[in-house]
Amino acid sequence: MNFTLKIWRQKNRTDEGRFVEYTVKDISPDASLLEMLDVLNNDIVRKGEDPVAFDHDCREGICGSCGLVIDGRSHGPNRGIATCELRMRSFRDGNTIVVEPWRAKAFPIIKDLVVDRSAFERIMQAGGYVSTKTGGVPDANAIPIPKPVAEEAMDAAACIGCGACVAACPNGSAMLFVSAKVSQLALLPQGQVERTERVQRMVARMDAEGFGNCSNNYACEAECPKKISVEHIARLNREFIRAKVAG
């Protein structure tokens, strides 16, 4: 398969950046988009030019570091997968593919397709943890939790913190990410100790990082590779009100 690529190139945070057009040929339809970028970079390096910088690690849809906007969609055209899981057979031979980084004030571009997502880490540091002594795995498993509650908590815990929700939101909101982390712990008995403090601290940190307000257009849910539900945002709002009332 042959493709024309329009890729965002930006030397650093202060550089204006621009789209640069490339051509790649003889790409296997079973290759991932990241593998296609590897092929492109091999060609670029052979020409003595600077390769395209993009973030990745596990390449198994687990770590969330590979996030890119592909043809205007976070992680590309297929639902429920990360960029590293996107195969080139999802495109037609001869297609022009536009690849760019997450676009959000809170995710400044470091270089090319790599953005600084440390804002998520600071939100987690603000309250995404438990201080209660849970003991070892047998001790944790000994705590009775209703199956529907456990499943809902696990659904929230599936969030990999990739930032697709932020990139998809017109306001650059991180509400889906924060709500998943708050919801996961609010549902479990181990998370009750910091319950009121957690939601207030994480929301305050989210606002301080420059993320926008929730726009209620559900783009975050649609683009999330783990299909995190916006119902967790509703729980976040309830948890926040509850914490304020509790004083």
CATH of the domain at 28: 3.10.20.30
Same domain, 128 and 143: yes
Distance CA 18, CA 6 (A): 10
Same domain, 130 and 203: yes
- Contact between 149 and 201 (Cβ < 8 Å): no
Q: How many residues does the chain have?
A: 247
Look at residue 182 in the predicted model and tell me its pLDDT: 96
Number of domains forming the structure of the chain: 2
pLDDT bin (cut points 50, 70, 90) of residue 190 is confident
The Cα-based distances of 56 to 11, 62, 85 in angstroms read 18, 11, 12
Residue 168 reports pLDDT greater than 80:
yes
Same domain, 186 and 215: yes
Query: Of 64, 80, 111, which marks where a domain is finished?
Result: 111
- Contact between 159 and 228 (Cβ < 8 Å): yes
Q: Tell me what the mean pLDDT of segment 7-11 comes to.
A: 98
Look at residue 136 in the predicted model and tell me its pLDDT: 76
The one-character DSSP state at 52 is: P
Q: Tell me what the mean pLDDT of segment 48-61 comes to.
A: 96
pLDDT bin (cut points 50, 70, 90) of residue 32 is very high
Share of the chain above pLDDT 90, in %: 90
Look at residue 140 in the predicted model and tell me its pLDDT: 67
- For residue 188, give the CATH number of its domain: 1.10.1060.10
Look at residue 173 in the predicted model and tell me its pLDDT: 97
Query: Of 111, 144, 176, which marks where a domain is finished?
Result: 111
Query: Of 111, 129, 162, which marks where a domain is finished?
Result: 111
Q: Tell me what the mean pLDDT of segment 218-244 comes to.
A: 96
Q: Tell me what the mean pLDDT of segment 146-166 comes to.
A: 95
Same domain, 144 and 38: no
DSSP string of 31-98? SBHHHHHHHHHHHHHHTT-PPPP---S-SSSSS-TT--EETTEET-SSTT--GGG-BGGGS-TT-EEE
Residue 141 reports pLDDT greater than 80:
no
Same domain, 104 and 60: yes
Read off the pTM.
Answer: 0.93
What are the tens digits of pLDDT across the range 66-106? 999 999 999 999 999 999 999 999 999 999 999 999 999 99
Same domain, 90 and 209: no
Share the mean pLDDT of the chain: 95
For tokens 């339809």, the residue is 29
Residue 165's domain comprises 117-246
Distance CA 239, CA 200 (A): 9
